[in-house]
Chain A
């Protein structure tokens, strides 16, 4: 990338490179800012990477790979771990035979997310070890350390990064030599992996034992560093907060925590006793400060006003100065909007015109909430448009219920809309319901990733294609329409009117590839043709040459 052995990498790239260097056999995930690039880069570097329909499936695939003795990586954004939390909690019990590293890319400040949940809480709740890098070098090193810890204690490890770590570029020196993985091999271990209550009770005790051992190891491991400065001010920090703090208080003493669950309390106590003022500086939830206070050390935390949004140098300065005055508002930039030529503009104009009550979902099309459309009434989480729309239909007076529509994108539908569609058929509202799937043949918002409905794999090579209209019919929807939304034709308006008036269940698939990938799609299609019919292509080439 740059000069040898001195690379300028984003945190995401550094994680991918470390995974590649460590011989990770399988990387799986679902696209989500700021985690998406990890698997893309891992694949570009020659790694075996796959997009799963959603994070739950991705984590399960990774668990399987790690049961098989391989090194596996599962990547997702913070809210993705909510979806994957079911396997997460029990994988902590089963443990793994190879290595399992789960990357949670949190988004404090919500650069591109619907909430700013702090997934460090998951490490505590599930009982798994957690590492928090603060720059790309650590993203690289901690990925390797996570693999080592995972193999040593046979447990999944949470690698928790944040937007600033994932998307900032800092200098990385890759490791010279890494212990190669063992070959994958199935070893039967029924009592560890079949979580019936009798075995799970034992597994839970074993998990707590592992955590106690890891805590002891953490007291002296190199993932935490002490920077000795003046004893007047001591700062305990993790993640990006450490970098801001070192800039603001270059003379202070620091305990920089990299291995943040289970916490090295003896080390923390020692540091606490060595300084006069001890401040815990962390972005988001008061996770560290609460844990350290609960252990009996009266550390200072940040004021509640700094819990919201990202930290940066000016905010850290304010925290150190006990400044509680209102922060200066940043001048507003231009908000994002639906592209001028976006085909979904036609859909949102129609929804607006009919005064529909729109249960929306997560993706580009969430921008339909902004001017000039203001045509989305709810957006909760991936797939929620189905359930929310149905709930509204069930309780609203008929005049309102008839105007309720669920709107979801193609990738989001595959992610977690399918079970909502089954719910729609199983528990149909009295006046039916209308689901619009906005199918632009890509996962557009996160930067155009493939999904099962595009018929291409993560690396854009051909794959089996999930046909949305066939799926809708197979589930039992009789009224399934596929339409290309075109400006000025009025066709979409008429179809929507007809479906709303039918009092039946209807699925409208508004299909047209995202204009931003029109060129790439042509290339992929060409490659596919060449791949499917090499002889035909050769014949055409010969004819042209002739």
Chain B
């Protein structure tokens, strides 16, 4: 069953845009016509604690949470959060860390979440156009150019990998 569902976990610290990242990913998957579930734990995370968000998509998704050791992709926005979340990744799953993109090229350091989504996007079935539509819808219009740049930097960084 799990091979029909794509499991993505995004991890980081409160304030890094973890949940925004999962919003964009889930929206892109929804626009592509998949069944989508997204799960997150809010609350105490506002105070700089660890945050993770799960996105699952496929023909039909039941549980909203990615079971441990079943994540196909683990996106980590903060180096200290790599080890605590590694157990979520399935054997052979893909780990995407801040090293995946050259931070010096980003229009703003806050766009790291979008850049890493770009890196992830190169491995997922949704079209670039759908991703950009989701990015445009997910933020204030004034952020779109910066986000588009960051996204494409990420997307090209991993496309050859």
Would you call A111 and B44 a contact (CB within 8 A)? Answer: yes
Stretch at the interface among B57-65, B93-101, B114-122: B57-65
Instruction: Kindly supply a per-residue 1/0 record for chain B positions 66-97, scoring 1 wherever the CB is within 8 Å of any chain A CB and 0 otherwise.
Output: 01101000000000110111110000000000
**Residues on A with beta carbons closer than 8 Å to the beta carbon of B50:** 333-335
**Residues on A with beta carbons closer than 8 Å to the beta carbon of B81:** 333-334
**Partner pick for A312 among B37, B61, B65, B83, CB 8 A cutoff:** B65
Instruction: Kindly supply a per-residue 1/0 record for chain A positions 108-136, scoring 1 wherever the CB is within 8 Å of any chain B CB and 0 otherwise.
Output: 00011000000000000000000000010
**Partner pick for A34 among B13, B31, B43, B49, CB 8 A cutoff:** B43
Determine if B38 is an interface residue (Cβ-Cβ < 8 Å): yes
* Chain A nearest Cβ from B7, distance in angstroms: 11
Give CA–CA (A34, B46) in the complex, Å: 14
Determine if B42 is an interface residue (Cβ-Cβ < 8 Å): yes
Most chain B CB within 10 A, of A8, A34, A246, A330, is at A8
* Chain B nearest Cβ from A150, distance in angstroms: 28
Contact (A336, B63) CB under 8 Å given A168-B37, A171-B30, A171-B35: no
Determine if B161 is an interface residue (Cβ-Cβ < 8 Å): no
- In B13-31, the 8 Å CB interface with A consists of 13-14, 26-27, 30-31
Give CA–CA (A243, B67) in the complex, Å: 12
**Partner pick for B84 among A244, A332, A338, A445, CB 8 A cutoff:** A332
**Residues on A with beta carbons closer than 8 Å to the beta carbon of B39:** 164, 167-169
Would you call A34 and B1 a contact (CB within 8 A)? Answer: no
**Residues on A with beta carbons closer than 8 Å to the beta carbon of B35:** 171
Would you call B27 and A334 a contact (CB within 8 A)? Answer: no
Contact (A164, B64) CB under 8 Å given A8-B36, A111-B44: yes
Would you call A169 and B63 a contact (CB within 8 A)? Answer: no
Would you call B47 and A339 a contact (CB within 8 A)? Answer: yes
Q: How would you classify the secondary structure of chain B's contact residues: helix, strand, loop or mixed?
A: mixed
Determine if B41 is an interface residue (Cβ-Cβ < 8 Å): yes
Would you call A313 and B65 a contact (CB within 8 A)? Answer: yes
Give CA–CA (A8, B44) in the complex, Å: 24
Instruction: Kindly supply a per-residue 1/0 record for chain A positions 313-342, scoring 1 wherever the CB is within 8 Å of any chain B CB and 0 otherwise.
Output: 110000000000000001111111111000
Contact (A243, B62) CB under 8 Å given A169-B36, A333-B50: yes
Give CA–CA (A516, B46) in the complex, Å: 10
Contact (A313, B67) CB under 8 Å given A111-B41, A247-B62, A336-B14: yes
**Residues on A with beta carbons closer than 8 Å to the beta carbon of B128:** none
Contact (A164, B65) CB under 8 Å given A333-B50, A364-B47: yes
**Residues on B with beta carbons closer than 8 Å to the beta carbon of A364:** 47
Give CA–CA (A34, B13) in the complex, Å: 20
Most chain A CB within 10 A, of B40, B70, B137, is at B40
**Residues on A with beta carbons closer than 8 Å to the beta carbon of B31:** 2-3
**Residues on A with beta carbons closer than 8 Å to the beta carbon of B38:** 8, 168-170
**Residues on B with beta carbons closer than 8 Å to the beta carbon of A335:** 44, 49-50
Instruction: Kindly supply a per-residue 1/0 record for chain A positions 250-268, scoring 1 wherever the CB is within 8 Å of any chain B CB and 0 otherwise.
Output: 1000000000000000000
Who on chain B is nearest to A166 by CB? Answer: B42
* Chain B nearest Cβ from A249, distance in angstroms: 10
Would you call B67 and A314 a contact (CB within 8 A)? Answer: yes
Who on chain A is nearest to B46 by CB? Answer: A447
Instruction: Kindly supply a per-residue 1/0 record for chain B positions 125-136, scoring 1 wherever the CB is within 8 Å of any chain A CB and 0 otherwise.
Output: 000000000000
Interface size class of A (residues with CB under 8 A): 35 or more
Determine if B48 is an interface residue (Cβ-Cβ < 8 Å): yes
* Chain B nearest Cβ from A348, distance in angstroms: 14
* Chain A nearest Cβ from B131, distance in angstroms: 14
**Partner pick for B64 among A170, A250, A336, CB 8 A cutoff:** A170
Determine if A367 is an interface residue (Cβ-Cβ < 8 Å): yes
**Partner pick for A33 among B43, B47, B49, B68, CB 8 A cutoff:** B43
Determine if B102 is an interface residue (Cβ-Cβ < 8 Å): no
Determine if A406 is an interface residue (Cβ-Cβ < 8 Å): no
Give CA–CA (A338, B36) in the complex, Å: 35
Determine if A163 is an interface residue (Cβ-Cβ < 8 Å): yes
Determine if A6 is an interface residue (Cβ-Cβ < 8 Å): yes
Give CA–CA (A33, B43) in the complex, Å: 6
**Partner pick for B26 among A8, A163, A337, A339, CB 8 A cutoff:** A8
Would you call A331 and B80 a contact (CB within 8 A)? Answer: no
Would you call B49 and A6 a contact (CB within 8 A)? Answer: no
- In A206-230, the 8 Å CB interface with B consists of none
**Partner pick for B42 among A6, A167, A331, A334, CB 8 A cutoff:** A167
Who on chain A is nearest to B86 by CB? Answer: A331
* Chain A nearest Cβ from B15, distance in angstroms: 10
Would you call A8 and B30 a contact (CB within 8 A)? Answer: yes
Give CA–CA (A364, B43) in the complex, Å: 10
Contact (A330, B62) CB under 8 Å given A164-B39, A167-B39, A338-B47: no
**Partner pick for B27 among A2, A33, A168, CB 8 A cutoff:** A2
Contact (A2, B30) CB under 8 Å given A313-B67, A333-B81: yes
Task: Please name 19 further chain A to chain B contacts, defined as beta carbons within 8 Å, in addition to the given A334-B48, A336-B44, sorted by A numbering.
Answer: A2-B31, A33-B42, A34-B43, A164-B39, A168-B38, A169-B37, A170-B64, A171-B35, A244-B65, A246-B62, A247-B1, A330-B87, A331-B83, A333-B84, A334-B49, A335-B49, A336-B46, A337-B47, A447-B42
* A/B interface sample: 29 pairs, CB < 8 A: A2-B30, A3-B31, A112-B43, A112-B44, A135-B64, A168-B37, A168-B38, A168-B39, A169-B39, A170-B37, A170-B61, A243-B63, A243-B64, A247-B2, A250-B1, A313-B63, A314-B68, A331-B83, A331-B85, A331-B86, A333-B84, A334-B80, A334-B81, A336-B14, A336-B44, A336-B46, A337-B48, A364-B47, A445-B46
Top 10 A-B pairs ranked by shortest CB distance? A333-B50, A112-B43, A336-B49, A336-B47, A168-B64, A313-B67, A169-B38, A336-B44, A247-B62, A331-B84
Interface on B for A, CB 8 Å cutoff?
1-2, 13-14, 26-27, 30-31, 35-50, 52, 61-65, 67-68, 70, 80-81, 83-87, 137
